[in-house]
Chain A
């Protein structure tokens, strides 16, 4: 169900979520000597060869593409850690393991651009895919349990991409249940919806996703 949610209904596209994830910090080992970069989002560097420093992911990827650094794989992206997480995910069907909020995007970016810096890259890739599948499956099976009496769903440790996929569906479902539960709310909601037009600059998909508030 949620897996098949139309991405056009999401508030953000996958690329946009990835864009947000690019602000996450990551450690790189530069192989060039460069002065500090004073950017709007902060000062990074100075860059000295073989001395690790922390930069935003977008900068790391930009430098990596030019062969100016190697990216240090975050701790959670080691085969050992991922195996642990995968096992734990499989063992507890109702809980999500704590992973970085942007783990899907970060791992995707690193696997795309810095695959030569990741030890056992194939293993890491397949593990992350497995973890993602297991978690999506959990979300889906969780959605099946939503009934008329559900007013809220609490999902801990859900990552950005996962939230992004299920958010519109989930919100609409809950709203629908709520609406059908209390007929007087339907009218109120209708009136409020008509009074307050939706933000238009977000494009049509926003108005689709937010039926009522």
Chain B
């Protein structure tokens, strides 16, 4: 519905540059500037130029040529106050307005100025730009009253709070800071809430307080304008609509009821802020980079990036309230104060739109025929305008309600207890398929279509998972859980007719009709979970209902509070509930309980830790049954039995993030890695099509930065330690049941080797940075004697005789200990290995029998002397495990084969002791076989040439 507005050239530019436009307080003059022009122009609108009709400005604008380079910002003091201009030439100058006489230089910066702002009384001028810091300058004596430092990038927008409490500033990274004017402190720092234009200097971020000071408008990331609360800095709502690209500039109407926004999509929209909808729009040839409402009357001045400006009359339809209605002027204005608003408006229309029509009649080329019709059609009656408005209303209502909902959510998150959520779901999107559940196994998706939905179940592993026919869903399921055997679906109650239903679909059953469903009267299912032979649902009555696979109601438990999430795996069910209302800091108070359903026991109970001011976004078990939680700040915590059961932070998205706009949507984790879907901001969750691809991220502990400079190794050390403790615990558990732990023990052993390698690297870096005590401590942690010898070699190489002696003492102690306690596996540490004391004692490995010469550090002398014999099956397996090349620490020169050999020899001894076999192996034999590759197990016949054409 836009007519094309005729723009007048004011500034000559070669390339698009940021231009600004300002109205004088009485609407008689207009000041314009352009970043590629050194001049500031003051156009007199009151004197119509001779011979030119329809023109919006006077014949000869006052030209202010005081800057040496382009003028980047202008600001106008209140009530015919001074005009300030800032420029690329680093200076800020003041002029009398509207006369245009030069008053003086205000300040100089070391870098270009990007933004200027006067406070409401005109006593302070804020200036900022590429310099580090915003300068607050007193306009009375032109002294700098304060410098506000805090922005990391160029400050591109400044706005004084009309109540004179705060100053808001925005930089090109999109960070907004609220400053308290009385103290100069940062009140709120809102990071990355606006688009990042750091790489694109042609667009400047801007922000503006509503004239009543109650809210701050900031361009949002989603082509919208977001309003932030005056005091708390919280997001209030957003204006989202027909902008196809980011909003780059906006201006509040004098009464704060309307907002004019211009976007990179070359549109200017007028919003009714109370209704949160756009009421008028206009398309331009170029991007509009400056907007200014006429302080009196219904006009909007616009200027585009090529320095052409124009005045848009009646941007707010005349049927609506005037943009100036209800403005409280500081100083009573003789002309308009007492006059009726209607009259003013009427005058404005007659004067300005009259001239517009004139130019149409004269057939100016700028007007397209359609727009001419529109103008004519719109002109006469108010009813038509009303109609159009209604149309807009109905069109926008849905969007508006969406916005409201979204805002509600955001508010709730900030201050209220978080809602229950289903793990692995994505919020509904209009007309798009969405995930009800996504896990490492597969996904349940749903697409709403004419009142009912189509639910589909897909497994990632198409080879193994059953094929599940899609299902028409008349209930409107919003929750689902999926495992290998079946899926459970549930819907919340929608009014009285549609009560909450829980449905279970087994994927394979020997009987027909094994699908079942349960209905809940006056109760609503909040979350569902699925495990081995059981289905769990937590309801609004705080009941935890457990059903068997066939639909038998087994248990009903009461949980402690409103449920947040639940996850099931195997026999275990984890339920997170609220323990109390949120803390005043905004922290959620959550409690977790883990039940073993089949044994009817409770294994874990306690508080669920979260990052401050975050909420839970994911909860689940890893494949090996470890419990983990993920919060909105991107931290993964894993439950560990260490320290009597605690949560260990093992991953932080902030550290792992490669670029600012990545969001991690977690799907699962295993012992060392996190599986997630990387979503590009602003999306925070994946869409069903195209099929999302999982990304693997390594765990990393939130380590303090240490003086060693070996963060990666330290991290590996922590993680391996954690893994090892997990495995040892598992071995202990299994031992208690008398189960076979060989496989686990192999795993523990390989982890020990990995840990030793890690420790050796750490010792090396300790030696480099002269941390001898720490090195000794690390040496004590080494689990095998071979590694200890390796450590001795390292310190010898780095010429540290003190350490060498220390280490030798440790080694000696170790050996003595080993001699005292004859165990099948002569590793120095006994923790976790105590299990083997039940094994029949075997003869010590020859290495132990032969007391090595400690002063002789060449390990050649300790070569084991064992006779060759066929290796057992287990040994083969062990060989395979160690066939991967091992990277030893730098500076370590003992041969890795030898180390491997000795390790294997120990295993060999163990195997021998266990199986009573007389298998003995020489170190040499093992080492040679250990380097060989594992036989390839190729299941598919593939290009026969390819397999041989490249040798390793």
Are these two chains actual partners, yes or no? yes
Seen from chain A, the residues whose Cβ lies within 8 Å of a Cβ on chain B are: 19, 22-23, 29, 31-35, 37-42, 49-52, 56, 58-59, 62-63, 66-68, 70, 72, 119
B945 contact set on A, CB distance < 8 A: 19
A63 contact set on B, CB distance < 8 A: 940
A72 contact set on B, CB distance < 8 A: 693
Known: A31-B462, A35-B937, A38-B933. A59 touches B952 (CB 8 A): no
Q: Contact at A37–B950, with CB atoms within 8 Å? A: no
Minimal beta-carbon separation of A55 from chain B (angstroms): 11
Q: Contact at B936–A41, with CB atoms within 8 Å? A: no
B938 contact set on A, CB distance < 8 A: 37, 39
Q: Contact at A40–B947, with CB atoms within 8 Å? A: yes
Q: Contact at A50–B694, with CB atoms within 8 Å? A: yes
The 5 residue pairs across chains A and B that have the minimum distance between CB atoms: A49-B460, A41-B950, A49-B461, A32-B463, A38-B936
Proximity bits, B916-952, A CB within 8 Å = 1, else 0: 0000000000000000011111111011011111111
Bound-state CA distance A42–B691 (Å) is 29
Q: Contact at A52–B693, with CB atoms within 8 Å? A: yes
Q: Contact at B946–A50, with CB atoms within 8 Å? A: no
B97 contact set on A, CB distance < 8 A: none
A39 contact set on B, CB distance < 8 A: 936, 938, 947
Bound-state CA distance A52–B867 (Å) is 47
Can you name 20 A-B pairs with beta carbons within 8 Å?
Answer: A23-B950, A33-B463, A35-B937, A37-B937, A38-B933, A38-B934, A39-B947, A40-B952, A41-B947, A42-B952, A50-B460, A50-B691, A52-B694, A58-B942, A62-B942, A63-B940, A66-B940, A67-B462, A68-B463, A70-B691
Q: Contact at A59–B942, with CB atoms within 8 Å? A: yes
Q: Contact at A59–B946, with CB atoms within 8 Å? A: yes
B464 at the interface (CB under 8 A from A): yes
CB closest chain-B residue, reference A53: B696
Q: Contact at B946–A22, with CB atoms within 8 Å? A: yes
Bound-state CA distance A32–B465 (Å) is 10
Minimal beta-carbon separation of A60 from chain B (angstroms): 10
Bound-state CA distance A63–B693 (Å) is 18
A52 contact set on B, CB distance < 8 A: 693-695
Bound-state CA distance A67–B461 (Å) is 11
Minimal beta-carbon separation of B447 from chain A (angstroms): 20
B695 contact set on A, CB distance < 8 A: 51-52
Bound-state CA distance A70–B460 (Å) is 12
Which label, helix, strand, loop or mixed, suits the secondary structure of the B interface? loop
A33 contact set on B, CB distance < 8 A: 461, 463-464
A32 contact set on B, CB distance < 8 A: 461-464
Q: Contact at A34–B939, with CB atoms within 8 Å? A: yes
B947 contact set on A, CB distance < 8 A: 39-41
Minimal beta-carbon separation of A75 from chain B (angstroms): 14
Minimal beta-carbon separation of B665 from chain A (angstroms): 13
B293 at the interface (CB under 8 A from A): no
B109 at the interface (CB under 8 A from A): no
B675 at the interface (CB under 8 A from A): yes
Minimal beta-carbon separation of A44 from chain B (angstroms): 10
CB closest chain-A residue, reference B934: A38
Bound-state CA distance A52–B952 (Å) is 23
Bound-state CA distance A51–B673 (Å) is 12
CB closest chain-B residue, reference A42: B952
Minimal beta-carbon separation of A208 from chain B (angstroms): 26
Interface residues on B, range: 20 to 34
B459 contact set on A, CB distance < 8 A: 49
Bound-state CA distance A50–B461 (Å) is 8
Bound-state CA distance A37–B942 (Å) is 12
CB closest chain-B residue, reference A69: B462
Bound-state CA distance A22–B946 (Å) is 8
B946 contact set on A, CB distance < 8 A: 22-23, 41, 56, 58-59
Known: A19-B945, A22-B943, A51-B675. A31 touches B937 (CB 8 A): no
Minimal beta-carbon separation of A9 from chain B (angstroms): 24
Q: Contact at A40–B948, with CB atoms within 8 Å? A: yes
Bound-state CA distance A50–B442 (Å) is 9
For the A-B complex with A34-B939, A49-B462, A68-B463 known, give 12 more contacts whose Cβ atoms are closer than 8 Å. Answer: A22-B946, A33-B461, A41-B950, A42-B952, A49-B460, A50-B460, A50-B691, A50-B693, A52-B693, A56-B946, A58-B942, A62-B942
Known: A51-B675, A58-B943. A40 touches B462 (CB 8 A): no
CB closest chain-A residue, reference B460: A49
B696 contact set on A, CB distance < 8 A: 51
Bound-state CA distance A23–B945 (Å) is 11
CB closest chain-A residue, reference B943: A58
A42 contact set on B, CB distance < 8 A: 950, 952
CB closest chain-B residue, reference A33: B461
Q: Contact at A62–B943, with CB atoms within 8 Å? A: yes
Minimal beta-carbon separation of A61 from chain B (angstroms): 8
CB closest chain-B residue, reference A32: B463
Q: Contact at B461–A31, with CB atoms within 8 Å? A: yes
B691 contact set on A, CB distance < 8 A: 29, 50, 70
Q: Which of A31, A56, A62, A67 contacts B460 (CB 8 A)?
A: A31
A40 contact set on B, CB distance < 8 A: 947-948, 950-952
Bound-state CA distance A62–B945 (Å) is 13
Bound-state CA distance A33–B946 (Å) is 23
Bound-state CA distance A34–B948 (Å) is 22
A49 contact set on B, CB distance < 8 A: 459-462
Minimal beta-carbon separation of B678 from chain A (angstroms): 11
CB closest chain-A residue, reference B937: A35
B694 contact set on A, CB distance < 8 A: 50-52
Minimal beta-carbon separation of A130 from chain B (angstroms): 26
Q: Contact at B940–A62, with CB atoms within 8 Å? A: yes
Proximity bits, B447-466, A CB within 8 Å = 1, else 0: 00000000000011111100
CB closest chain-B residue, reference A119: B690
Minimal beta-carbon separation of B696 from chain A (angstroms): 6
Bound-state CA distance A68–B950 (Å) is 24
Q: Contact at B949–A23, with CB atoms within 8 Å? A: yes
Bound-state CA distance A41–B951 (Å) is 5
Minimal beta-carbon separation of A133 from chain B (angstroms): 30
Bound-state CA distance A67–B463 (Å) is 9
Bound-state CA distance A19–B541 (Å) is 66
Bound-state CA distance A29–B677 (Å) is 13
A38 contact set on B, CB distance < 8 A: 933-937
Minimal beta-carbon separation of B546 from chain A (angstroms): 30
A29 contact set on B, CB distance < 8 A: 691, 693
Minimal beta-carbon separation of A122 from chain B (angstroms): 18
A68 contact set on B, CB distance < 8 A: 463
CB closest chain-A residue, reference B951: A40
Bound-state CA distance A40–B933 (Å) is 9
In this complex, which of A22, A51, A52, A70 has the most chain B Cβ atoms within 10 angstroms of its Cβ? A51
Minimal beta-carbon separation of B688 from chain A (angstroms): 13
Proximity bits, B653-696, A CB within 8 Å = 1, else 0: 00000000000000000000001000000000000001111111
Minimal beta-carbon separation of B279 from chain A (angstroms): 37
Minimal beta-carbon separation of A79 from chain B (angstroms): 15
